[in-house]
Amino acid sequence: MLTEVTATRYVTPLREGGSLPGIVEADDLGTYVMKFTGAGQGRKTLVAEVICGQLARRLGLRIPELVQMELDPVIGLGEPDQEVQELLKASGGLNLGMDFLPGSIGFDPLAYQVGAEEAGRIVWFDAVINNVDRSWRNPNMLVWHGDLWLIDHGATMIWHHNWPSAKNYGTKPYDAADHALAPFAPDVAAAAAELAPLVTEELLTACAADVPDVWLEGEQGFDTTDALRRAYVEVLLERAAGMHERINFGPPTAARPSNAPGWLTDHLTPWPHPAKKKDGGQ
């Protein structure tokens, strides 16, 4: 289970986030980035953050600690920004907090080199959860104390917005052409050999168990929250099997960063991603 804390002060909004997350202080004296149930994407964004974030953590990837955060909307009464006031008012109750990493900076491929092994592990993980929001446009990675940290997994597992179609996603390919780490020649085969055996039914069940019931209740087509958790487990378990064979590296979209002078430096592999060698490497 996630640790539960209570928000004590709303500090400032993070305008770069589409759902308007905010920096808050809590009763454990910690500072967190808070994501709200009352935001436009709703509670399913928080469900995705928990399941995918906890999976990443259990696979050894770096992700800020997640907590359940209780919010009293009265905190927002003194906020001068009406948009923030309305968001806090609509988000009373249990929300999600992510440990704030002070001094962290956004990932920049021109300034930070990523090895093929680490890049492969991240791309493979993103393929399993079908993360469409780790592109060069918006990497959703931070560099903190010299290490790469993953954030913002709310735009993953797109199938949970239409459960009748979920069965089609188990073996669906993943397009990594625009992935922020595509230029670093990610070794997804090595990542699969290391990580796929870890993605068991038991592991995924533990990740899904960390989602509070209140974010799962009332989902159409499911009689219980446990049945809904099971549905998440089944899709992710199927995707993890042989996922590296379904990751496609092709040329990025037309408006790609390689059009900008200086994008392709010595430590980057020019796109399109080099094809796998055949016939003994010839």
156, pLDDT greater than 90:
yes
Please report the pLDDT score of residue 264 as a whole number. 41
Tens of pLDDT, residue by residue over 237-271, are 999 999 999 999 987 776 655 433 333 444 444 44
CA dist list (Å): 34 to 17, 75, 95, 153, 227: 11, 13, 7, 13, 28
Q: What is the mean pLDDT of residues 5-29?
A: 90
Mean pLDDT over each residue of the chain, to the nearest integer = 89
Q: Which residue carries 């929250």 as its tokens?
A: 225
Per-residue b or e along 29-64, where b marks 16 or more CB atoms closer than 10 Å to that residue's CB = ebbbbbbbbbbebebbbbbbbbbbbbbbbebebbbb
CA-CA distance, 58 to 45, in Å (whole number)?
20
As a whole number of angstroms, the longest Cα–Cα distance in the chain is: 68
- Which is more confidently placed, 198 or 80? 198
Q: What is the mean pLDDT of residues 110-137?
A: 95
Q: What percent of the chain has pLDDT over 90?
A: 78
User: Which amino acid is present at 266?
Assistant: D
Answer for the pair 53, 65: CB distance below 8 angstroms, yes or no: no
Please report the pLDDT score of residue 272 as a whole number. 47
Answer for the pair 181, 119: CB distance below 8 angstroms, yes or no: yes
Q: Predicted confidence band at 77 (pLDDT cuts at 50, 70, 90)? A: confident
Please report the pLDDT score of residue 257 as a whole number. 52
Please report the pLDDT score of residue 41 as a whole number. 76
Q: Predicted confidence band at 196 (pLDDT cuts at 50, 70, 90)? A: very high
For residue 155, the tally of other CB atoms under 10 A from its CB is 20
Contacts with 274 (C-beta within 8 Å, 6 or more apart), sequence order: 185
Answer for the pair 42, 90: CB distance below 8 angstroms, yes or no: no
Tens of pLDDT, residue by residue over 90-119, are 999 999 999 999 999 999 988 899 999 999
172, pLDDT greater than 60:
yes
